[in-house]
Amino acid sequence: MDERKQAILDYVVSEYLEEDDDRTIGEDTPLITGGIVDSFSMVSLKRFLEKKYGIQIPDADASPEAFDTVNRIAALVERFKKS
Amino acid sequence: MNASTGILGLGTDLCDIRRVERELRATERGFVGAVFTRAEIAACGDGPHAARRFAERFAAKEAVLKALSFTDGRGAFWQDVEITRRGEGPAAVRLQGRLEELAARHAAGRIHLSLAATGHHALAVAMIEERGGAAPRPDTNHTGD
């Protein structure tokens, strides 16, 4: 797993998994449809990505689908790092 | 006379007030500025009931976004849904920006909103009528609690 995906994964685990939650999260684990990240959590996740990577993710691109896995989130970051 | 012809969307959301309290304490995370409009921030204030007020408005925004999901407006449009409420009176919704455009394009009419809160949770239900008649009204709405 590359550094960016690992950083996103680490953030999700530290922020949104309860201490007694023993689920294993990988690059393709469903975060939103899997109930790990909800709409409230998306606010802080979007802010984290924007601050850490110096990007602005437009509201229309911050959809539940785009935030549903670490791989998709990393792809979103990559897209706006380039633009 | 009610010119509406049907219900286009229904949405509900439950917000944990304690999560909002945590975000309000962690100001560096920028939760308030990312989600709420200036008018909403002013209305919620910073007193002992601020977290509940923000939680009610967050739940209301999410309920409206879910009710508008038929427009394919999927995204972080929190600031495009402004919730207004005078004291503990009825709340109302004002759409703006992209969401206002989408609502108008999809013939969304009046948005009804109902809010409730207990010690730890804020609940909101939103219902969107289909716009009827010739006069478009995508942006405003009456509500009750």
Are A63 and B74 an interchain contact pair (Cβ–Cβ within 8 Å)? yes
What is the model's pLDDT at position A53? 96
Measured distance between the N- and C-terminal CA atoms of chain A, rounded to whole angstroms: 24
* Cα–Cα dist B115/A72, whole Å: 34
Q: By CA distance, what is B27's nearest residue in A?
A: A44
Q: Kindly state the tokens that stand for B112.
A: 């009804």
Stretch B106-115: mean pLDDT: 94
pLDDT tens digits for range B17-66: 999 999 999 887 789 999 999 999 999 998 889 999 999 999 999 999 99
pLDDT tens digits for range B74-84: 788 999 999 99
pLDDT tens digits for range A59-74: 889 999 999 999 999 9
CATH of B7-130, one of 3.40.50.300, 1.10.600.10, 3.90.470.20, 3.30.565.10: 3.90.470.20
CATH hierarchy code of domain A3-16+25-82: 1.10.1200.10
What is the model's pLDDT at position B73? 67
Partner-chain residue, chosen from B29, B62, B73, that has the shortest CB–CB distance to A39:
B62
Given a cut of 80, is residue B135 above it in pLDDT? no
Residue pairs spanning A and B at CB distance below 8 A: 44
For residues B1 and B82, the model is more confident at B82
What would the DSSP string read from start to end of A48-78? HHHHHHT----GGG--TTTTSSHHHHHHHHH
Q: What one-character DSSP code corresponds to residue A41? A: H
Local confidence band at B145 (pLDDT 50, 70, 90 cut-offs)? very low
What is the model's pLDDT at position B138? 47
Cα–Cα distances in angstroms (integers) from residue A81 to residues A4, A10, A59, in the given order? 12, 20, 16
What is the model's pLDDT at position A80? 93
Q: Pseudo-torsion of CA A50, A54, A57, A63, nearest 10°? A: -40
Q: Which helix (H) or strand (E) holds B8?
A: strand B7-16
Could you tell me how far CA A47 lies from the centroid of its own chain?
10
Residues of A in contact with B62 (CB under 8 A): 39
What is the model's pLDDT at position A83? 65
Stretch B80-104: mean pLDDT: 91
Q: Taking the domains of chain B in order of start, what are their residue ranges? A: 7-130
Q: Is B120 on the interface with A (CB under 8 A)?
A: no
Cα–Cα distances in angstroms (integers) from residue B144 to residues B81, B106, B125, B130, in the given order? 17, 24, 10, 19
Are B75 and A62 an interchain contact pair (Cβ–Cβ within 8 Å)? yes
What would the DSSP string read from start to end of B98-138? HHHHHHHHTTEEEEEEEEEE-SSEEEEEEEEEEP-SSS---
Contact between B55 and B43 under an 8 Å Cβ cutoff? The reply is no
Stretch A25-43: mean pLDDT: 93
Q: Is B15 on the interface with A (CB under 8 A)?
A: yes
Q: Say if residue A8 is exposed, middle or buried (CB neighbours under 10 Å; 0-12, 13-18, 19+).
A: buried
- ipTM entry: 0.84
* Cα–Cα dist B145/A49, whole Å: 36
Tally of CB atoms within 10 A around A51: 12
Stretch B69-94: mean pLDDT: 87
Q: Kindly state the tokens that stand for A3.
A: 């550094």
Are A62 and B76 an interchain contact pair (Cβ–Cβ within 8 Å)? yes
Interface test with B, best of A39, A46, A80 (most B CBs within 10 A): A39
Given a cut of 90, is residue A13 above it in pLDDT? yes
Question: What mean pLDDT value characterizes chain B?
Answer: 86
Q: Is A61 on the interface with B (CB under 8 A)?
A: yes
Question: What mean pLDDT value characterizes chain A?
Answer: 92
